[in-house]
């Protein structure tokens, strides 16, 4: 599956199929124990990623790539930066707009579309939390090279780590009928990604968050 096909599937899934589920998961509403572990894991990962940035971001421009319902965008805006909150799902962006406090709207620009579009401009930092996890290695390489070419400091992103469980889920997902599939996470190891860049980008291992049914690997990236 190529980049455009994956992007289309991600859009359909988050904009329609799983919209209500995702809206509830990223709120404070009660959820099942499984989904609570995913919520807790995402909260931990968001804290890990944003801790890599200065506490005072006044004057900075930051891309929240795949912003979803806007939790990370809100935290970034509280640090004083201008946030470009981009997501392929207009419906998730509507949820994000409704949740952001009024006094922070001036700090956040919501954009529906491809999170790596060159039309978004240049940034000081980019955070792509769990928004690159559906792409194969060649697409991931192109995405990170594109983002890194337009950032003055660093790109922080997450990957699905190459564990036995995630590899099993990936193979099962490939066997599902095409019409019934949600986007399938594509596991990667940090070493395989480093080999792919062959020194073109400097990658730093920020650690793995493993919380119940949530597991994700945080990585820093710069030229």
Give me the CATH number covering residue 136. 3.40.50.150
Into how many domains does the chain fold? 1
**DSSP string computed for 183-207:** PPP--B-HHHHHHHHTTSSEEEEEE
The predicted pLDDT at position 164 comes to 60
The predicted pLDDT at position 107 comes to 98
d(CA 191, CA 222): 16
Please name which of 117, 74, 115, 127 lies closest in space to residue 96, comparing C-alpha atoms.
74
Task: Give the SS3 label for residue 127.
Answer: strand
The predicted pLDDT at position 169 comes to 52
DSSP 164: H
d(CA 154, CA 133): 19
Q: Where are the alpha helices (DSSP H) in the chain?
A: 3-12, 19-25, 33-50, 71-78, 90-99, 137-148, 164-175, 190-197
121-163 per-position pLDDT tens digit:
999 999 999 999 999 999 999 999 999 999 999 999 999 998 7
Rg of the chain over Cα atoms, rounded to whole angstroms, equals 17
DSSP lists the bridge partners of residue 216 as: 209
Domain membership of residue 53 as a residue range: 3-25+33-222
Please name which of 187, 136, 145, 144 lies closest in space to residue 164, comparing C-alpha atoms.
187
The predicted pLDDT at position 177 comes to 44
Angle between helices 33-50 and 71-78 (to 10 degrees): 30
pTM score, whole prediction = 0.93
- Which of the residues in the chain have pLDDT under 50? 167, 170-172, 174-177, 179-180
């Amino acid at each position: 599956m190529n980049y455009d096909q994956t992007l289309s599937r991600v859009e359909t899934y988050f904009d329609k199929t799983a919209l209500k589920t995702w809206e509830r998961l990223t709120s404070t509403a009660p959820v099942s124990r499984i989904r609570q572990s995913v919520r807790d894991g995402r909260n931990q990962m968001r804290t890990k990623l944003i801790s890599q940035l200065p506490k005072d971001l006044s004057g900075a421009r930051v891309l929240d790539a795949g912003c979803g319902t806007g939790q990370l965008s809100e935290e970034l805006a509280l640090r004083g930066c201008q946030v470009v909150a981009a997501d392929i799902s207009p419906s998730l962006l509507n949820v994000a707009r409704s949740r952001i406090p009024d006094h922070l709207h001036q700090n956040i620009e919501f954009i529906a579309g491809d999170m790596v579009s060159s039309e978004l401009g240049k940034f000081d930092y980019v955070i792509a939390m769990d928004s690159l996890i559906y792409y194969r290695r060649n697409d991931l390489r192109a995405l990170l090279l594109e983002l890194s070419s337009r950032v003055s400091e660093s790109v922080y992103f997450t990957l699905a780590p190459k564990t036995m469980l995630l590899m099993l889920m990936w193979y099962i997902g490939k066997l599902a009928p095409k019409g019934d599939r949600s986007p399938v996470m594509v596991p990667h190891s940090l070493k395989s990604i480093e080999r792919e860049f062959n020194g073109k980008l400097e990658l730093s291992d920020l650690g793995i968050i493993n919380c119940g049914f949530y597991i994700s690997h945080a990585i820093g990236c710069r030229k």
